[in-house]
Amino acid sequence: MSKVKREVKLVECPRDAIQGIHSIIPTASKIAYINALIASDLFDWIDFGSFVSPKAVPQMADSEEVLAGLHLSNDTKLLAIVANERGVEKAVSLDKIHYIGYPFSISEEFQRRNTNMDIKASFESLRRMAAMTQDGGKQMVVYISMAFGNPYHEEWNEQLVMDWIGEIANLGVCEFSLADTTGEANPLQIKELFEKVYSVHGDVSVGAHFHSVKATGLLKIQAAYEAGCRKFDGALLGFGGCPFAADDLVGNIATEDLLFYFERGDPQVILKLEKQFKQMINV
């Protein structure tokens, strides 16, 4: 494995993988699975849960209990997703959490669907959340949702992405991910957008959170990597997708593709994790 590829951060997203599953997974099963992800030492970060309305995302209602059962035995960092200040207040109070993620959409329609706010209200909320996160000794990660297009026939262009990253960076946020929320990005578009982002905003970290069908996953990974991306989100077996997009769900980039591309991990360990994940969700 090359020195550069060892420097790539891989983020496993069990939260994203299971949040849309309707049958509630037992808390103990989630704890056992995420502890196995941590113990594998394959991942730099794990997106383990979220502090959002249990009515909106029932599967995540036990995130605090799940967190209490996790054993951080190595350098793996934990990330939790929030939707408002109440979520940040909870997350900053919990020592095991390192990163707090917020999905900021550059689509008015999707922002309303996801957080029940328009973009202006979302930005003002983010301003407060960023300050709370910094005061609480955590680091904010902002996901730029709909970064590669807009299925709702609203305005979208690369400059819109650039402008919003700049506005949010002015709040003191230095960790971002470009989210292909509905899986519509193509490799050329990915390469061009990442290259432009890095040329304009070279002082912040910008990773990739792709949703993709299996056939194009590796091509998207390659395009972002060749453009300079060094942080990638994924989910084992490509599960997940945003339940608020109101489209047919397109799953996450398969973690297996990331591990293959970046030459990381023992195949037997990966197979064991896949088996445990399938057992957890009764597949």
| CATH at residue 95 | 3.20.20.70
Structure tokens at 20: 């849309």
CB 174 within 8 A of CB 205: yes
Give the mean model confidence (pLDDT) for residues 117-130: 96
Looking at the predicted structure, is the pLDDT value of residue 73 above 70? yes
For residue range 161-208, list pLDDT tens digits in order.
999 999 999 999 999 999 998 888 999 999 999 999 999 999 999 999
Return the H-helix or E-strand segment holding 81.
strand 77-82
- Separation in Å, CA 223 to CA 9, 70, 177, 187, 218: 16, 34, 15, 5, 9
CB 165 within 8 A of CB 131: no
Question: What count of Cα atoms within 13 Å lies in the side-chain half-sphere of residue 33?
Answer: 28
Q: pTM score, two decimals?
A: 0.94
* Domain residue limits at 79: 3-280
Total domain count for the chain?
A: 1
Secondary structure (DSSP) of 92-126: HT-TT--EEEEEEESSHHHHHHHHSS-HHHHHHHH
- Separation in Å, CA 22 to CA 56, 60, 65, 235: 12, 11, 19, 18
For residue range 223-271, list pLDDT tens digits in order.
999 999 999 999 999 998 655 544 555 689 999 999 999 999 999 999 9
* Helix (H/G/I), strand (E/B), else coil: 75: coil
Return the H-helix or E-strand segment holding 176.
strand 175-180
Looking at the predicted structure, is the pLDDT value of residue 2 above 50? no
Q: Give catalytic residues, as residue numbers.
A: 242
One-letter-per-residue 3-state SS of 134-169? HHCCCEEEEEEECCCCCCCCCCCCHHHHHHHHHHHH
